[in-house]
Chain A
Amino acid sequence: MTRMTRRQFLRTSGSGVGVLAVSGLAGCASTSGEIEPKAGRRVVVVGGGWGGATAAKYVRATDPSIEVVLLEPNRKFVSCPFSNLVLSGVRGLGSLTFSYSGLREYGVKVRHEAATAIEPDARRVRVGDGFLVYDRVIVAPGVDFLLEQVEGLAGAQDKVLHAWKAGPQTTELARQLRAMPEGGVFVLTVPPIAYRCPPGPYERICQVAWYLKTNKPKAKLIVLDANQNIVSKTALFRAAWQAYPNIEYRASNKVVKVDAGAREVTTDFGDKVKYDVINLIPPQRAGAITVQADLVGADKRWCEVDHITYESLKHRSAHVIGDSTTGLPVPKSGTIANAMGKICATAVVELLNGRSAPAIPPVNTCYSWVSDREAMAVVNAYKIENGKVVQVEQKLTPGHSTVYAQHAEGWAKSIWADVLGSGGAA
């Protein structure tokens, strides 16, 4: 990838959750403005997604003597897994939207505010004009987009949607798909690895193709994949796509430019492709606050962590979990973030109690919906060897079926409750 200077980075990364608004403050600590001075031991969790919400809940469930403050600007949790079904109209976004009330039942102090900076040396997190002091911070900001890698994208974000963070963009992209002309062209672009949810773009291709086949049989779906082949569940997706002759898949086609006025994208070979509706999934990196907090590695994109405690290799008092991490042989998936949340919470509790963290490997299950009623899965098992997470086995379901769809529904129901507490259902 293109290397960026810090100045370029600051200029181009304004799209996230405003985390860099006061990023220059890291070095000029102020002593005023402390929010909720802490009495005992405190863990601050930055980000209430799959990893962060799980970690916040499990620290409290494991040791209620530890105060937990969760910083999450969004008032509702919207599940990215299953959100591709909103595009095809199989599910509504409301069925994927949950409150944070379940976490409050565990005594998590949920603050709907954005962390603006983390100061690992001072052990505090900046929130607006004030700050929170912590003993340990768990950083789980998910991904942010490298908009500058696609010319014309930063200025056209209202028209060129990613829908890669479930929410208003998901609903709007579903609306655009419905409003597309009968014989129209839907272009979907897949970013180069690493990105959130490796099978996600291909599941989305199934859902868009299923919708078009059912509702607009003359329409076409052109996929421009920056990668050399389908990144995940390759043979299974190829088999599933047999049902969708409306898919035109082009591997090794990295989109480098978008012209929202002309409704046209350009690939790195200079090929121009016209569209009626575009879904451009941009290249990604760890959430912006990890760059401000000096938690990213040499690649300036992802955070290296200890495989047992999830402590940042750069600042040990900060733990990083979920999609922002790198170096473990795991996908950026919801199940992995949930597992990391539990394992990291246990490590934090043990470390704060002066004990060593147990060596627990994560697990991964990723279900993908290939139609309105059939799903398939990839499963990864791990062990810890010499302090590192090592894969034991990866297994794919032999194909897609309605039984796997039942299992997918079961997984979702269980894991949403595991992440948010059972009171989290909207």
Chain B
Amino acid sequence: MSRRVAAVVVLAAFMVLGAAASSEAAGPLDQPGYVKAMTCSACHGASGNSRSEAVPILAGLSPAYFKKAIEDYATGKRVSAEMEPFAKQVKLLGVDEVAAFFAAQRREATPVRADRNAVERGRAASTECAACHGAAGQGGQGDPSKLGPAIAGQPATYLKNQLLLFKADKRSPGDEPLTKMKAIVKAIPDGTLADLAAYYSSLR
């Protein structure tokens, strides 16, 4: 076989293989938003399932909640030097697709175990939270004024840090839907906020 013929045969074989590969079952690239959300995993984990203590899990977040968070980070209402530039980047890439990608991912609860006593104390203090976040922290349903995000299984340190930001009115100040949340949190001692964080992180 001459080299040219061999090359043609090899090329044809490649085209067949290539066609076979591209007609195979859907891979990650076929998920809408996959490539646009790809770089987030450096901090937020595979498919948005953060395995660390202070970085939130994005998997399974409602698109509305995700988009509000991106908007508030981008405008600086939710102050974070670490997230503000990336929020702007996500908006340029297309926040709808990124939000849809994370919403479609199955949430794997944090592997960071919370202190058992703190969890029990948190459970006892959680009655007020359930109205908006659901009895099991699965997120509010129905009444639009009570649509708190799903917080079950988020890492405790992240939840605690956010509760402290709410308490100090440093998270989206002046935001009307958050006034009730802030009023509730303001009356709760820091230690109890840590217990609540431990409790909700322990829920599955």
Q: State whether B42 touches A338 (Cβ < 8 A).
A: yes
Q: Is A356 positioned at the interface, with any CB of B under 8 Å from its CB?
A: no
Known: A63-B21, A381-B85, A381-B86. Is A339-B28 also a contact (CB below 8 A)?
no
A-B residue pair count with CB separations less than 8 angstroms: 132
Q: State whether A65 touches B45 (Cβ < 8 A).
A: no
Q: Is B35 positioned at the interface, with any CB of A under 8 Å from its CB?
A: yes
One digit per residue, 1 when the CB lies within 8 angstroms of any chain B CB and 0 when it does not, for chain A 112-150 equals 000000000000000000000000000000000000000
Interface residues in A385-426 by Cβ distance below 8 A to B read 392-398, 403-404, 406-407, 409-411, 413-415, 417-418, 422
A66 and B14 alpha carbons, distance in the complex (Å): 12
Q: State whether A381 touches B52 (Cβ < 8 A).
A: no
Q: Is B179 positioned at the interface, with any CB of A under 8 Å from its CB?
A: no
Q: How far is the CB of A332 from chain B (nearest CB, A)?
A: 16
Q: How far is the CB of B48 from chain A (nearest CB, A)?
A: 11
Q: State whether A360 touches B35 (Cβ < 8 A).
A: yes
Q: State whether B46 touches A40 (Cβ < 8 A).
A: no
Q: Is B41 positioned at the interface, with any CB of A under 8 Å from its CB?
A: yes
Q: Is B5 positioned at the interface, with any CB of A under 8 Å from its CB?
A: no
Q: Is A346 positioned at the interface, with any CB of B under 8 Å from its CB?
A: yes
Q: State whether A407 touches B39 (Cβ < 8 A).
A: no
Q: State whether B27 touches A62 (Cβ < 8 A).
A: yes
From A41, A339, A343, B17 is in contact (CB under 8 Å) with A41
Q: State whether B84 touches A342 (Cβ < 8 A).
A: no
Q: State whether B89 touches A361 (Cβ < 8 A).
A: yes
Q: State whether B39 touches A360 (Cβ < 8 A).
A: yes
One digit per residue, 1 when the CB lies within 8 angstroms of any chain B CB and 0 when it does not, for chain A 319-344 equals 00000000000000001001100110
Q: State whether A414 touches B85 (Cβ < 8 A).
A: no
Q: State whether A394 touches B85 (Cβ < 8 A).
A: yes
Q: State whether A339 touches B42 (Cβ < 8 A).
A: yes
Q: State whether A352 touches B29 (Cβ < 8 A).
A: no
Point out the residues of chain A lying under 8 angstroms from B81, CB to CB. Answer: 377, 379, 395-398
Residue of A nearest to B155 (CB): A410
Q: State whether B53 touches A65 (Cβ < 8 A).
A: no
Q: How far is the CB of B73 from chain A (nearest CB, A)?
A: 11
The residues of B with any CB-CB pair to A shorter than 8 Å are 14, 17-18, 21-22, 24, 27-29, 35-36, 38-46, 50-55, 81-82, 84-86, 88-89, 92-93, 157, 161
